[in-house]
Each structure stands twice: as structure tokens, then as C-alpha cells.
Amino acid sequence: MPTQIAIGFSSIKDPLEACKAAAIDVKTQLNAVRTDLVILFTTTAYANPEGLETVRRILQPQRLIGSITPGIIVQDHVEPRGIGILAIISNELHFGAADIDRLGLIPTREAGLRLSQAVIEDYKFPQRSAFLFFYDGLRKNGSQLCAGLREGLGSALPVIGAISMDSSQLAFTRHFYQTQILIDTTIGLMIGGAGAVCVSSRHNWKPLGKPRIIDASDGNIIRTIDKQPAAHLYRNYFQNMDAAPVPNGASQGTPSDLRPGQLNDLRLLYPLGIGTATPREYLIRIPIDILSDGSIVCQGEIPAGSPVHLMIMDKSACRRTIQDAALEIREHFLDKPPKFVLAFESFTRQKVLGYHATHGLQAIRDILGAGVPVFGMQTIAEIAAPATAGHVAPTQLLNGSVTLLAIG
């Protein structure tokens, strides 16, 4: 059987009716009793055990994974409320899945290694094409999870991941795995049998002011910048300004808002850009907390000695960012359309750009073809190899990015 792919979506107010409607839509498109894989994304109000059971009863998936998100990407737009389903039937593509829960009790790197081993055990085929995972660990070091995955999977396999959230607030979330809705967990999916795979990730942030130097860091915690507590980077930059410049009418933050345990809109409007080995390329880090000593907590590791900028989003580059990612995929596939594209877009882009953030999604189908299914979710962090100039970059935790996984 050739690969069949269907996408269903519903925002009916009653969550159970919405789950039923989306699942029936998918089943009608596939015209099959069972499915090999279901990827399920819902907003918070639509995530409940009865809805999950409804989806499973109608589609009878061999494997089901998914996550809660503040926005579901369906083809060329973002839905802020509802349930979205991508279902696959194929004798070409093969899948294996597993979960590791109670992450708070496991060292993060070990959790990544355990997840890779559990998924490999479930995957029964020799060819591995890509590894996809969802991570529930807002205040854990996502870079260490990547290191554990790489230890188990090797360095050659494309790896893409997402840290999601319940809403626009930075909070822990829930994930779907088979018959369960889980918290404090990570879920992995191995995809095999693909003729071609391409992962492309881009951001459209640009630096403000001159670079500073991170003197001391501890994993994902920045201790000092230019010999001062890290949080002073924000105070020093804005201390002589009446207000920080705010793009797109977003709510305004000032230095006085930066107190221990709170990072208002400044953390989203002005994330940190960590300098890399490639000039003018930056690894984006969104602060998630400020400790009592002024240290900044991020989601991924930051090495001491790194240059750091405050960053601001380049609104004019919003559409071009996704265009560049889609063009990279088209070139990789030699102008042949992929079977489907999974899209993970930082919620930060919408927070800063508002309605304009969704404009770029149309570029995926314009470049790859209107018939290519596009499905995805908004995230608070993305995990992929960032775009680099002329060399292969390692898999890293990213913020403020658009990441595409194309399967052929």
C-alpha cells in the first residue's frame, strides 16, 4: 500500500464532539479500519481522556503520540483552539515509539539515553530515517536530554524535538502516548523507510548593541556577564531609556520589572543571542527565570566565555525565514515534493509579531507544492541542528525558531 496521509481538525466548542469530528474527517479521507500512526495536537481545553479514547476508537492507531500546544499548525495557518490529527497508513514508512515518565526523578542525560533505547527496542526495522520527540521539562536542561539521545542514537540520524506548553504562559504541559495523557514525560518516535529526510531550522532575530561576555555559567544557568550578575545585562542596556523599544505593539517592559522569579515580556521581546563559531550566527536563548543572585535560567546550555547580545526580532525577515527553510527542503529533495512536513514554530514569534507571524506558513506550500500535507504545533523551544554556513552543526535546543521536518 502506498503511503496515505490525512489531516483532520475541529474547533467545535464541545471537546468530545470536536475529537469525534476530527477523527471521522481523517477516517473518511483514509477509508481504512486501522492506522499505523496518529500524531495528535490539542489546545488545553480539548485534552481529556474521553477525547483521547474517542480518537483511538475511531482510528485504531498502532501508535499514537502528541502534545498540548497553544496553537495547531494546519496547512498554511495556526488554529488557536481545537484538536488536530495527522494520521498515516503506509507499507513504506515504519515507526517505533516509547515514553519515559517521571523525569524529575531521572538525571536528564540518562532520560535521553533511556528514551532512545526504549524506542529502538520498539522499532523492528534496520533503516532509521529520523527521530522525533516531545519533551516536558521546562526547567530542566534540554541540552542534556539531546546529549543522552545522541549517545543512544549516534550522530548521523536527524533528530528533531519540541518543548511545548499549555498556553502562552511558561508552564509544564501534558503529552499523549498511546492510551494515556502524561505529565513530566518525554515521548519519542522513530521514523524509518523514508526515501529522503530533511530538517531545516531558521530564526529571524538580530543583535542589539555590542556583545558582552558570559564570564561564568553552570549548564543552563548564566551566572555573570561582564563580571556582573547576568540579569544586569537588561538593566544596563535600558537604564538610560524611558522605555524599551517594543515591536508590534506588544506590552512594554522596563528594568524595574526584572526581579527574582519574574521576567515579564522582556524575556520574549529581547531574548539572548549566544555567539557561535560562525560570524553573525546566534543561538537564541529565552530566559525562563531569574534567581535571587541575578543569575538567568535558560532551557539549554550556555558555555562560559561565549559572547552574548540582547536580540530583537527582524519583522521584515519573518516570511523569508520560512521561505529559506522550505527552499532548503526543496533543494534536498531535488524538487520532488515530500510526503509530508511537520512544522514546529516558536510561540515567541506570534507573541512578538502577532498576525504577521502566520504569513510565512503559506511559503511552505508555495515552495514545496499545495498538495504537500503540513501539520505542526507552536512550541516554547525547538530541538534541531541550526542553520550554519558551510558546516554541519550539532543538534541543539533552540528558541524563537521555525523548524521543519520533511519526510519523503
Residue type, 269: L
**Arithmetic mean of pLDDT over the chain:** 87
Rounded to 5 degrees, what angle do the CA atoms 352, 348, 363 make?
Answer: 85
pTM: 0.90
Residue 349's alpha-carbon distances to 79, 128, 228, 246, 344, in angstroms, are: 15, 32, 30, 14, 11
pLDDT digits (tens, 9 = 90+) for 286-343: 888 888 899 999 888 899 999 999 999 887 787 788 999 999 999 999 989 999 999 9
pLDDT digits (tens, 9 = 90+) for 343-358: 999 888 877 777 666 6
Looking at residue 253, what is its pLDDT? 41
Looking at residue 14, what is its pLDDT? 97
pLDDT digits (tens, 9 = 90+) for 270-283: 899 999 888 888 99
Mean pLDDT, residues 377-389 taken together: 80
Q: Does domain 206-312 have CATH number 2.40.30?
A: yes
Mean pLDDT, residues 224-232 taken together: 95
For CATH 2.40.30, the residue range(s) in the chain are: 206-312
Whose CA is closest to 216, among 306, 285, 143? 306
Mean pLDDT, residues 119-148 taken together: 88
3-state class (DSSP) for residue 359: coil
pLDDT digits (tens, 9 = 90+) for 251-267: 344 444 455 444 556 77
Sheet holding 77-79, edge to edge: 77-79, 72-74, 374-379, 340-346, 402-407, 197-202
pLDDT over 90 percentage in the chain: 62
Looking at residue 264, what is its pLDDT? 58
Banded model confidence at residue 372, pLDDT cuts 50, 70, 90: very high
Q: Which DSSP string do the residues of 17-52 spell out, in sequence order?
A: HHHHHHHHHHHHHHT-S-EEEEEEEE-GGG--HHHH
pLDDT digits (tens, 9 = 90+) for 193-227: 998 999 999 998 999 989 999 999 999 999 999 99
Residue type, 307: P
